[in-house]
């Protein structure tokens, strides 16, 4: 089983959006028995909370479910459990390295580094623009799925 973890600051906007989009893409490609997806936060602010209403509403527009999802904080043992650990911005990446006790691991990278954008995914908690975040996360998840299929020969 290939394991993917998306990480953002609070695990209520960007990383659960990425988790839900990636699950949807995986399901459509009939790879749900080969790839497991989860998400986590670098902060402890929203532990146990469901995704932000803006995230849920945006995903609902595209018929993508967030059912059963709730925020959790990144744990040191996650490093051993996941093959791909994707941060939404540079701060997430720095925090992940610190929290996981790792530095410059190739399994930890920023989502949009897989695209032509090569920038941070803006946090809609602050920008209010859930559509922009959705568009960027979708593009990043599509690129990530192609990377996984290529690397794991799926």
C-alpha closest to that of 55 among 34, 39, 37, 43? 39
C-alpha closest to that of 21 among 139, 147, 146, 129? 139
CA 103 to chain centre: 19
Q: How far apart are the first and last CA of the chain?
A: 12
Is 8 part of the annotated catalytic residue set? yes
Taking the C-alpha atoms of residue 93 and residue 112, their distance in angstroms, rounded to an integer, is 12
Taking the C-alpha atoms of residue 34 and residue 14, their distance in angstroms, rounded to an integer, is 23
Other CB atoms within 10 A of residue 103 CB = 9
From the candidates 13, 14, 38, 78, which is the catalytic residue? 14
From the candidates 13, 110, 123, 141, which is the catalytic residue? 123
Order across the sheet with 84-87: list the strands: 35-41, 2-8, 84-87, 108-110
From the candidates 8, 23, 24, 78, which is the catalytic residue? 8
Catalytic site positions: 8, 14, 123
């Amino acid at each position: 089983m290939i394991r993917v973890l998306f990480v953002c600051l609070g695990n209520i906007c960007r990383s659960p959006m990425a988790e839900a989009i990636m699950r949807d893409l995986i399901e459509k490609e009939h790879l749900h028995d080969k790839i497991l997806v989860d998400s986590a936060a670098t902060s402890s602010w929203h532990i146990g909370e469901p995704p932000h209403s803006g995230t849920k509403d945006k995903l609902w527009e595209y018929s993508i479910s967030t059912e059963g999802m709730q925020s959790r904080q990144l744990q040191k043992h996650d490093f051993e459990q996941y093959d791909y650990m994707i941060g939404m911005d540079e701060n997430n990446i720095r925090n992940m390295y610190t929290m996981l006790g790792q530095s410059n691991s190739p399994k930890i990278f920023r989502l949009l580094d897989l695209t032509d954008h090569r920038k941070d995914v803006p946090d809609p908690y602050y920008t209010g623009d859930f559509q922009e975040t959705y568009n960027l996360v979708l593009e990043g998840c599509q690129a990530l799925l192609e990377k996984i299929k290529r690397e794991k020969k799926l």
